[in-house]
Amino acid sequence: MKRNHTIMQFFEWHVEPDGKHWNRLSELAPELKAVGIDAVWVPPVTKAITNNDTGYGVYDLYDLGEFDQKGSVRTKYGTKDELVKAIATCQQNGILVYVDLVMNHKAGADETERFEVIEVDPNNRTEEISEPFEIEGWTKFTFPGRGNTYSPFKWNWKHFNGTDYDNKEGRNGIFRIHAENKQWAENVDDEFGNYDYLMFANIDYSHLDVRQEMLEWGKWLVDTLQCGGYRLDAIKHINHDFVREFATAMKKKRGEDFYIVGEFWKDELQACQEFLNTVDYKIDLFDVSLHYKLYEASHAGNSFDLTTIFHDTLVGSHPLNAVTFVDNHDSQPNEALESWVEDWFKPSAYALILLRKDGYPVVFYGDYYGIGGEHPIEGKKDQLDPLLCARYNKAYGEQEDYFDHPNTIGWVRLGVPEIERSGCAVVISNGDNGEKRMNVGEDRAGEVWVDLTGNREEQITIEEDGFAVFPVNGGSVSVWAQPDVDIEPGEEIPADLICGQQEGEHFGLEEQA
């Protein structure tokens, strides 16, 4: 039987810009596999405007840390050779690699050009606030360090439909390029009237040469890296028809198993559903709606009704297309979409994405290993490892919910015969100490269960009818399950025999199906 699959987002905004991140991934791959991670989402691999840039200020899509451009050969994360090695090492450890693609804009042009624009209202990009006038824009990309290697395509103003800086006057604005067949893309998010433009020089996907170049680049990249999938950045700003075209082409190139997930940052469920329809379900989406529910719950405390946590979420309506997450690089403190889930609720939030049957969950590097920068946040590896262990070894089988109290909810997974000792009972409280009487099956009668998180020290014996009362501390989570060895009530059990850590091995180290 296939084990549960789990992604780690293997970066946060303040990863040390020392050029050693790909080497860190190589070193940590066995450890990640050992805790049940079998896919990693890595940051943009392409050359950005500086070697300190996180990768979203993308300059040259064909430079993976191979050419001396923008001040260095390497990117923030390392060289091309180190990247290729890291991906191969992950694959040797049974870990897929999903590469982050930035296809909405380009930055750090090599030369300026003069062309006509019309300035638009930043709060309503469909409203023109000037007559056509000429600016000097940074839109010419010649890639002097790479030349024609891999692609002879050179970008100029005709390949974009907007920019944000007039070098001639030294001023910022949102400038729509004024020329024949130059408009904002229509099939994009309608925030600010039209949200085609986000930043830098905005790529024009109505231009046939642009579409062809980006499709060829996508195929080249997957051939070069042999990765297992893509994460598409900022797709609500990209012509949705091109997103479908791109995903279709990549799956045709690599097969239907090639995985693609998109960042469609909308907490309106209907908009996400409409997008999935538009792209013919060729990609999955991050469940932004659930993220904001978790964020709200963490800030509202016991005034939040936990029974509603999955209402109006993508995982609730489209479980097969939802990639669930607690936080990421954009939602972390001081970043563009800051909406940080408070520390006290973080383990409960992760239980809600890791231990249920629906969704493809992501563990955030910043939550697991910590966040750097001027305001560091300590990692929660010790709190998350028991939940990862429970996901890999216990969270299988039929799911029954006990969402019957606004401050204390629970569910059980009944387990499957193919995975010995699988099955668990999860209880979450956002108020006082609580408990849930739940049924884990008559066949479990007499088994002694323990709290894998260590938050509760007592042991629970399953009653003859399969029921038991499972307690939880206030503002906390407990995950009750059968330990790895049979014990009598009250018998001491070594910590390394509680979940998937039999002598001489770590859980998850065997090959996943």
Tokens of 353: 């994405």
Query: Please, is 180 exposed, middle or buried when counting C-beta atoms within 10 Å of its C-beta (0-12, 13-18, 19+)?
Result: exposed
* Backbone CA torsion sign across 444, 450, 453, 458: positive
287 catalytic? Reply is no
Binding site annotation covers 239? no
> What is the separation, in whole angstroms, between the first and last Cα of the chain?
7
Residue 259 DSSP code:
E
Considering 241, 263, 435, 463, which one is annotated as catalytic?
Answer: 263
Tokens of 80: 């091309």
Name, in order, each residue with C-beta under 8 angstroms of 452's C-beta and a sequence gap of 6 or more: 386, 387, 389, 390, 394, 424, 479, 480, 481, 498, 499
Torsion from C-alpha of 139, 145, 148, 153, nearest 10 degrees: -10
Q: How far is CA 125 from the centre of its chain?
A: 29
Considering 233, 284, 287, 358, which one is annotated as catalytic?
Answer: 233
- Number of Cβ atoms within 10 Å of the Cβ of 51: 20
Q: Which candidate, 447, 339, 353, 437, places its Cα nearest to that of 391? A: 353
400 catalytic? Reply is no
Q: In what order do the strands lie in the sheet with 424-429?
A: 399-402, 408-413, 424-429, 477-481, 448-451, 460-461
Name, in order, each residue with C-beta under 8 angstroms of 35's C-beta and a sequence gap of 6 or more: 385, 388, 389, 392, 506, 507, 508
Binding site annotation covers 100? no
Q: Which candidate, 249, 139, 255, places its Cα nearest to that of 201? A: 139
Separation of alpha carbons 64 and 99, rounded Å: 12
DSSP 447-510: -EEEETTSS----EEPPTTSEEEEEE-TT-EEEEE--SS---TT----GGGSSS--TT--TT-S
Residue type, 107: A
- Ramachandran category for residue 134: left, alpha or beta (phi over 0 → left; psi -120 to 50 → alpha): beta
Torsion from C-alpha of 153, 156, 161, 166, nearest 10 degrees: 150
Q: Which candidate, 316, 324, 249, places its Cα nearest to that of 280? A: 249
Binding site annotation covers 104? yes
Helix (H/G/I), strand (E/B), else coil: 275: helix
Binding site annotation covers 237? yes
Q: Which residues of 1-27 are buried (b: 16+ CB within 10 A; e: fewer)?
A: eebbbbbbbbbbbbbebebbbbbbbbe
DSSP 434-452: EEEEEE--GGGTT-EEEET
Q: Which candidate, 446, 481, 448, places its Cα nearest to that of 464? A: 446
Q: Which residues are annotated as a binding site for Ca(2+)?
A: 104, 196, 204, 237
From the annotation, which residues make up the binding site? 104, 196, 204, 237
The catalytic site residues sit at 233, 263
